[in-house]
Structure 1
Amino acid sequence: MLGGTGFVGRAIAQAAAGRGWQVTVFHRGRHEPPPGMARVLHGDRRADGGLAALEGGEWDAVVDTWSGAADAVRASARRLAEGGCAERYAYISSRSVYAGPVAAGLDETGPVVAASVEDTAEETAGDYAREKRGGELAACESFGDRALLVRAGLILGPGEDVGRLPWWLLRMARGGAVPAPGPRELPVQYIDVRDLAEWVLDALPAGLSGPYNLVSPPGHTTMGGFLEACARVTGGGAELHWRSPESVLASGAEPWTGLPVWLPPGADYDHMHRGDVSKALAAGLRCRPVGETVEDTWEWLRQLGGEAPLRPDRSPKGLDAETEARLLAMPG
């Protein structure tokens, strides 16, 4: 695992160890690695000599969750490929790599954003789509048809450090009237981080390569199913007050950030919640029920004392009290 101490990397490392695999974690040493690792290596691939700890190692597969500029992926993939250190390379990418506007039902053959393996942090300046596409190119440059590109959608589940599902859970736990962005039957797509981990770990020994959209199938759940599960498991007596997309937007509530997960019907919604995942389903993707994801995330939050971690490069999510009151006052 390149990384392995954050949300997605930790879930994959833990799942691999749970299978009895010998797992090596390479990271900067800023956080504790998951328990059960066979080996822990320290280094910073953005620094001169930062990959020295990988010298002489041999691995059946590498999983890389890097979210920054492509030059870091290029450095690690090149070192591991040229040294004969690894057989396969899985890069956890994103469905954000597709060039907009993204039509509903787009599969892996859709057009992608422009990027380069030589992109640096100064050049991309936090352009997430370009960074992820550059990472894909860097993985393929060194590993070719031995590179697996996991184009994940919205990722939720225990350990989430972005703040989407945790915000909804903590808000529901406070109880009272909660504005619910509708319509209630609006389908949403996401992937439980544990389902992502299991699929990746099945795909590597199976020799899968190239891009795969990885998110739940259309119709897996709805905004109603998602928010009602949040209200139910927290037991706070929250009362959902459904509001139309028009009312939500008129209130000034921000889709996706102010109201995590939710997007109004339109181009952005089609991109995020109407993706084609038939290729991954045919390759064995299994998605657990939304209630299980929500319940297990709530249990994890309770173990933390009700305070969710947040990555320093991610902004806080959720509504402030004034915007919430304004939205509640809007017509349904």
Structure 2
Amino acid sequence: MLGGTEFVGRAVTEDAQARGWQVTVFHRGHHAPPPGVTALTGDRTTEGGLAALAGGSWDLVVDTWSGAPSAVRDAARLLSGRAGHYTYVSSRSVYEPPAPAGLDEDGPLVDGASPDAGGDVSYALAKRGGELAALDAFGERALLARAGLIIGPGENIGRLPWWLGRIARGGPVIAPGPRDAGLQYIDARDLASWLLDAAEKGLHGPYNTVSHPGHTTMGELLDTCVRVTGSDADLRWTDPGTLLAAGVEPWSDLPVWLPAGELYDSLHQGDVTKAHAAGLRCRPVGETVADTWTWLVGRGGTAPQRPDRPQVGLDPRLEAKLLAG
């Protein structure tokens, strides 16, 4: 496991351990890995940073890297003769925008990606460059898992944790309409389980790895947050036009939510037939929300925050203005 100490990487590591597999975690040493793994340390972005991987062999490798594609290139090349399979956790951001509703894995991809690129490229080009790096080194032994919105226990982006924290505080809460807007996402644990199953089967090539469109709705998600927190929150469902006119930024100010349009189609309406035919299963939203709340409470109510991602959530002053409006 390249990474393996936070969120998706940790979910993969813990799932593999639960199967009785022997797990090696290569990480930078910023966070403690799960007990029981073989831990190797190094910084893949520095000269000689992969030295700890110079020896040994593995049945499969999982890589969640989202920075410079050259880091994927170097690791994949180093391991290509000593690992049987390479899974790269990519993103549906690799599709050329705007990605229309119903787009499958054969959709057009972003131009200009390179496995040799550094860290100064966009997220889409970084992920596509990482895919190319994995393919260059492993060919038909490379699995490209194109995830979308990932939530669940351990989330270090802050989307579901923000909603849980805000709703737990109670009182009137701005809720972005419409209530019945379908959402497409995946619990990190379901992603981890499928990644390991797929790698064990030797699956290769690209797979869109999220739930079916409409697996839940914005209304069900927020209602569930109210229920699991035991809050007295009063969800004030607000028309998208009102929110946009007030300067609310979809996805960042009100996480998960997108109004109808190109971005909504891209992120919540993708075709996932291939992955589900290959065994992907997504647990009910109630389980994801409840388990995330339990994890969050166990941390004192504060979720970790990735340093390379901006904090999300609606400014309380803007929310107050909208509620008074």
SS in 2 for 1:41: strand
SS in 1 for 2:84: strand
Match for 2:83 among 86, 91, 94?
Answer: 86
The number of residues matched between the two structures is: 324
Match for 2:223 among 228, 232, 236?
Answer: 228
Q: How does 1:22-101 map to 2 (within 5 A)?
A: 22-37=22-37, 39-81=38-80, 84-101=81-98
Q: How does 1:169-318 map to 2 (within 5 A)?
A: 169-318=164-313
Structure 1 counterpart of 2:115? 117
- Is 2:14 aligned against 1:14? yes
SS in 1 for 2:85: strand
Amino acid across the alignment from 2:5: T
Q: Distance in 1 between matches of 2:316 and 2:14?
A: 38
Q: CA deviation at 1:328?
A: 2.1
Q: Distance in 1 between matches of 2:42 and 2:204?
A: 27
Q: Distance in 2 between matches of 1:173 and 1:45?
A: 40
Amino acid across the alignment from 1:109: D
Contact 1:59 / 1:87 at 8 angstroms: preserved in 2? yes
- Sequence identity of aligned pairs in percent? 65
Q: CA deviation at 1:234?
A: 0.6
The TM-score with structure 1 as length reference comes to 0.96
- Is 2:146 aligned against 1:151? yes
Q: Distance in 2 between matches of 1:289 and 1:226?
A: 10
Structure 1 counterpart of 2:100? 103
Moved over 4 A (4+): none
SS in 2 for 1:241: strand
Q: CA deviation at 1:326?
A: 2.3
Contact 1:251 / 1:326 at 8 angstroms: preserved in 2? no
Q: CA RMSD of the aligned region, Å? A: 0.8
Structure 1 counterpart of 2:160? 165
- Gapped runs of 5+ residues in structure 2? none
- Is 2:1 aligned against 1:4? no
Contact 1:157 / 1:193 at 8 angstroms: preserved in 2? yes
Deviations 1:128-164 (A, max 9, x none): 0100000000000000010000000100000000000
Amino acid across the alignment from 1:11: A
Deviations 1:57-78 (A, max 9, x none): 1100000000101000000000
Q: CA deviation at 1:329?
A: 3.6
Deviations 1:73-104 (A, max 9, x none): 000000001xx210000000001111111100
Q: CA deviation at 1:56?
A: 2.0
Q: Distance in 2 between matches of 1:321 and 1:195?
A: 33
Amino acid across the alignment from 2:16: A
Contact 1:101 / 1:267 at 8 angstroms: preserved in 2? yes
